[in-house]
Copies of this chain bind each other. A is one copy, B any other.
Amino acid sequence: MDTRHLVKPDGRSMTLYSRGQLDGDLTAPSPSLDTHAPNPHLRWHPLRGEWIAFAAHRQHRTFLPPAGYNPLAPSSSKHYSTEVPSGNWEAAVFDNLFPTFAATADSPPHLDVRTEPARGCCEVVVFTQDPSASLGALPLSRVELIVDVWADRYDVLGRRTDVLYVFPFENRGVEVGVTLQHPHGQIYGYPFVPPVAARALAQEHLYYEQHGRGLVEDLVAAEVRNQGRLVFRGRDVVAFMPVCARYAYELWVVPYRRVPSLAALTAAERHDFARALKTVLLKYDALWNRPFPYVLVIYQAPTDGVDHPDTHLRLELYPAYRMPHRLKYLAGSELGAGVFTADTVPEDTVKELQRVTVAVDD
């Protein structure tokens, strides 16, 4: 994998990636030329016991793209001064123009609750130059490149002192609020370990102390033994609908081996991880013969300088629909009480995904 680090005219970082050798003359364009110094802040929610991030500059976006303008398409005479250059790159990563976390955050307001600068970072990951592609529809070797990019960002961002947790995700589809349809994901570098990840880490740690084995290792072993909820069984990686799935078509992609991050996977494991991911994404799109909206998230060990031997990398997918044309809404019970209510059981819905056959190899 060839990588090129560049700086945009407004000061933002950009890194280009390719399986082959990158052109020598690649540049980093930007739709905005003003010096980039966003200043988001955190407020402590004393009853939820968690940080809330406030990025008011996001609402007042000065940059309003004309209709048909795609800021994630390579800059050209048609798409002038976009976020990415023309040239032979295959994936691009750059600082979000409207970040919720930023290294420049400083001097939060004085309020009746604790506040902090919202340090950290928000990156955009452009999966391809092709606006009509999708992560799952990329050739397998290109999905593998994206896995390598996520692994590289885990290493690069993890070295920053203001980033304690590297969190890659993809929001796909207007149903989950996506406005730019060009295939892309995001990476948040949080300045703290976020609550959902912290909870899982604590559960994994406790389980390891009690059983001497990994919690996710044992979950995976049980799913493999049970077989009924599997959708992909590779040499190194498995994909399944977990027994505790909250969303009707929720799937997890997990290596058998207890590894703390994508960066810790071997090349063979990354290949199998990409194959598993491509398989489940193609199954999603084939299920109802339409692009399947979802939120994709990747849990890895915190980058807090401490070893996390009991932590097990996993990718989770939360589809927006619970049946054709029926969205799953989070409302009173989920938002207010934190109790997820499911109208289906995984043993039923997984069968629909198992029946779908897809061609994964290049």
Could you tell me which A residues sit within 8 Å of B by CB distance? 43-56, 58-59, 100, 111-113, 165, 167, 169-171, 176-177, 186, 188, 190, 194-197, 199-200, 202-204, 207, 215-216, 219, 222-223, 226, 243-244, 246, 295-297, 316, 318, 322-323, 327, 329-333, 335-345, 348
**Given the complex of chains A and B, what is the CA–CA distance between A44 and B340 in angstroms?**
11
7 A-B contacts (beta carbon < 8 Å): A59-B344, A169-B333, A170-B332, A195-B337, A197-B337, A295-B335, A330-B330
**Given the complex of chains A and B, what is the CA–CA distance between A282 and B355 in angstroms?**
51
**Given the complex of chains A and B, what is the CA–CA distance between A61 and B48 in angstroms?**
35
User: Which chain B residues border A327 with CB–CB below 8 Å?
Assistant: 177
Central interface residue in A44, A54, A333, A342, by most chain B CB within 10 Å: A333
User: Which chain B residues border A329 with CB–CB below 8 Å?
Assistant: 171, 176-177
User: Which chain B residues border A330 with CB–CB below 8 Å?
Assistant: 330
Tell me if B59 and A331 are in contact (CB < 8 A).
no
Query: Which applies to chain A's interface (DSSP): helix, strand, loop or mixed?
Result: mixed
CB nearest neighbor in B for A330: B330
CB nearest neighbor in B for A177: B329
**Given the complex of chains A and B, what is the CA–CA distance between A226 and B336 in angstroms?**
27
Additional pairs, 6, CB under 8 Å, beyond known A53-B340, A170-B332, A186-B332: A43-B243, A45-B244, A50-B340, A52-B246, A54-B345, A330-B330
CB nearest neighbor in B for A114: B244
CB nearest neighbor in B for A59: B343
User: Which chain B residues border A170 with CB–CB below 8 Å?
Assistant: 332
- Contacts A171-B331, A318-B335, A331-B171; is A244 near B342 (CB within 8 Å)? no
